Structure 1
Amino acid sequence: MTTLMVQGTTSDAGKSTLVTALCRWLARQGVAVAPFKPQNMALNSAVTADGGEIGRAQAVQAQAAGLASHTDMNPVLLKPNSDTGAQVIIHGRAVTQMDAAAYHDYKRVAMQAVLESHRRLSERYQVVMVEGAGSPAE
């Protein structure tokens, strides 16, 4: 198993598009590839086959890889509902609403969800194509 990560210098740098293209190219080469965005902040979401919620970009990336979308592809989704708060969705299910300070303390729980999802994807696919969030400097 290989994990590859695409990062950009800013949000909106084209990471989603590049990961989508790489998923499609790898799938056409016969490589079992899955997209993965550990944490995403977006209002636009898509429903997975099991009724969970993930970022729309990860659903498109799954389609490019020839896969049905799955909540492991975006284990932590934050849907902003104010300037400082968001609905927290873990493994496709809304768990709570939090402000930024409370989420900072919750990150350990969120990290466990991320690690579980990455492990499961790594066991099933030859390549896990990770889309970074924002930029490494943000």
Structure 2
Amino acid sequence: MYKRCEAEHGAENCEKSGAIVYPKCKSGFKSVGCCICSPQCPEGMSDLGISCAKSTYGRGAGVSRLQCPDDKEQDAGLCYSKCQDGLNGVGPVCWQICPASIPVACGLMCAVDKSTCDAYIAKATAAELNQTIYSSPKYTIWIYMTISASIVTVGLF
């Protein structure tokens, strides 16, 4: 049962899930279900099951000021409470700074590089648009997507 998998992935590099043998996850990843390898989240990040999310907390709605008091910081023309150390303020949210092992801030997530972030966003956008297609019977929705350029165009007909 393990022969074909181990022939391709090496001895001791396969594991059985149910009735099927799969390659073991690479270092830094863990098995989720039968056949998905999810990153092991660095300390302080939330495990979403198939990916890791930066921790966040709200810091208020912001107050419009030309200059902020010393205990506040300005973002987009509004004053907000300063974030705790290790967090970066964007509007009313304090986002965890991505760890060195996955350094690229990618919205809620962190990624190993910009192209990985772009591909994730494109795939997530396409999945959401596909859901829209199935839940909008009154419209025909045309979708064109170029993942490498991270361009998503949607047209309603």
TM-score scaled by structure 1? 0.25
Which has the greater radius of gyration? Answer: 2
Return the structure number with greater helix share.
1
Q: Which structure's residues are more often strand, by fraction?
A: 2
Structure possessing the higher relative contact order (Cα contacts under 8 Å, 6 or more residues apart): 1
